């Protein structure tokens, strides 16, 4: 019990001595400082700590070595050196194999290359070695504490102005041909995307406008688009008559609810004759219009210019008269 108490007292005394001996030097700007070396001997072992050079220069790396010399009969719990570093980054670690000196003592060495972190507090904290004899299982563990190392720091203001580099103005570097071609390709792709997007937006807008039209407005719009193609002048009579009769049939379906596009001419005329909206005179005009178109579509009849003009006039008049009749009926 007393032995353990004395051990703790020795440890406390060692810490106090460490704090007292590790005060920051008063002149951190001295250029020619020798290496910082601490040698601690206790319980049959010797620990040598070396910090080189003896001052921290934020622009230069430092070397820290830890050499432990101990008898072969001791079991030592070595501290992990990297844990006790403050303000440094480990740039490299060298751990040579253990060796035996002429006196029969084992020697273990660890060398660290340290990179100072600018603006930090620099210190190597006290390290604790746990020592226990190998041949005595009942022996108490002994401890050895190394002193802290607080190296002075060279202030950057003390550096000679000749070592300072002037700020270099930015220099324009012209792009290579490959970079120029790549950016040109990106620009072309962007323009194509914008152009296609504009076309799609216009088509979508026009489609919405057409869908909002009344059946009469939409039929007249479709008729004017068909006439603008001037299919009869190109000899495409059958295509023209299929298109113009489809416009009229679709209008009748939208306006009166008769599924005109799906019915033959006789079936459509029979269905229209039963509707009050279709007067006999209107049904007769539709009969002449559709039957003459059927001759072109199915009998390979070639219409004259006068016949084509009469077909267009009939379609326009029917749309105008039917929409007018429906408007008067609603009012």
As a whole number of angstroms, the distance between CA 137 and CA 4 comes to: 16
Which H or E run includes 254? helix 237-256
What DSSP designation does 268 have?
A: H
As a whole number of angstroms, the distance between CA 115 and CA 2 comes to: 45
Report the percentage of the chain scoring pLDDT > 70: 83
Q: What is the pLDDT of residue 301?
A: 85
The tens digit of pLDDT for each residue in 66-114 reads 999 988 878 888 888 888 999 999 999 988 898 888 888 899 999 999 9
Q: Is residue 63 very low, low, confident or very high in pLDDT (cuts 50, 70, 90)?
A: very high
As a whole number of angstroms, the distance between CA 131 and CA 143 comes to: 6
Query: Taking 60 as the threshold, does the pLDDT of residue 7 lie above it?
Result: no
What are the residue ranges spanned by the domains of the chain? Answer: 2-19+28-151, 213-330
Q: Give residue 12's Cα distance to chain centre.
A: 56
Return all residues near 221 (Cβ < 8 A) that are at least 6 apart: 210, 213
pLDDT, average across residues 147-160: 77
Q: Is residue 11 very low, low, confident or very high in pLDDT (cuts 50, 70, 90)?
A: low
As a whole number of angstroms, the distance between CA 115 and CA 110 comes to: 16
- Provide the 3-class DSSP secondary structure of residue 130: strand
Give the burial string for 186-212 (b: 16+ CB within 10 Å, else e). eeeeeeeeeeeeeeeeeeeeeeeeeee
Q: What is the pLDDT of residue 328?
A: 59
Peptide bond into 223 cis (omega under 30): no
The tens digit of pLDDT for each residue in 178-209 reads 888 999 999 999 999 999 999 998 888 888 88
The CATH number of 2-19+28-151 is 2.60.40
As a whole number of angstroms, the distance between CA 208 and CA 201 comes to: 11
Crossing angle of helices 265-273 and 280-298, rounded to 10°: 170
As a whole number of angstroms, the distance between CA 146 and CA 18 comes to: 8
Q: What is the pLDDT of residue 25?
A: 45
Which H or E run includes 112? strand 106-116
- Whose tokens are 């079991």? That residue is 75
As a whole number of angstroms, the distance between CA 252 and CA 263 comes to: 12
């Amino acid at each position: 019990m007393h032995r353990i108490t004395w051990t703790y007292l020795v440890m406390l005394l060692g810490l106090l001595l460490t704090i007292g001996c590790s005060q920051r030097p008063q002149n951190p700007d001295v250029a020619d400082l020798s290496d910082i070396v601490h040698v601690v001997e206790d319980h049959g072992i010797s620990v040598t700590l070396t910090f080189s050079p003896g001052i921290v220069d934020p622009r230069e790396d430092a070397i820290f070595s830890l050499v432990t010399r101990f008898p072969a009969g001791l079991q030592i719990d070595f501290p992990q050196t990297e844990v006790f570093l403050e303000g440094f980054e480990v740039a490299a670690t060298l751990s040579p194999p253990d060796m035996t000196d002429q006196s029969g003592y084992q020697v273990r060495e660890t060398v660290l290359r340290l990179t100072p972190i600018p603006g930090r507090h620099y210190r190597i904290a006290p390290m604790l070695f746990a020592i226990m004899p190998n041949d005595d299982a009942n022996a108490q563990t002994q401890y050895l504490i190394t002193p802290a190392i607080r190296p002075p720091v060279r202030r950057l203001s003390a550096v000679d102005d000749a070592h300072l580099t002037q700020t270099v103005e930015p220099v324009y570097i012209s792009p290579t041909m490959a970079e120029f071609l790549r950016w040109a390709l990106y620009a072309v792709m962007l323009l194509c995307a914008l152009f296609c997007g504009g076309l799609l937006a216009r088509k979508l807008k026009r489609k919405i406008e057409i869908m909002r039209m009344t059946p009469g407005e939409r039929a007249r719009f479709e008729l004017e688009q068909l006439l603008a193609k001037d299919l009869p002048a190109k000899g495409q009579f059958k295509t023209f008559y299929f298109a113009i009769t489809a416009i009229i049939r679709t209008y009748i379906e939208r306006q009166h609810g008769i599924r005109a596009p799906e019915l033959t001419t006789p079936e459509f005329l029979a269905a229209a004759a039963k509707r009050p909206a279709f007067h006999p005179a209107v049904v007769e005009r539709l009969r002449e219009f559709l039957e003459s178109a059927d001759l072109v579509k199915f009998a390979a009849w070639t219409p004259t210019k006068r016949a084509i003009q009469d077909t267009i006039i009939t379609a326009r008049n029917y749309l105008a008269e039917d929409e007018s009749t429906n408007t008067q009926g609603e009012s």
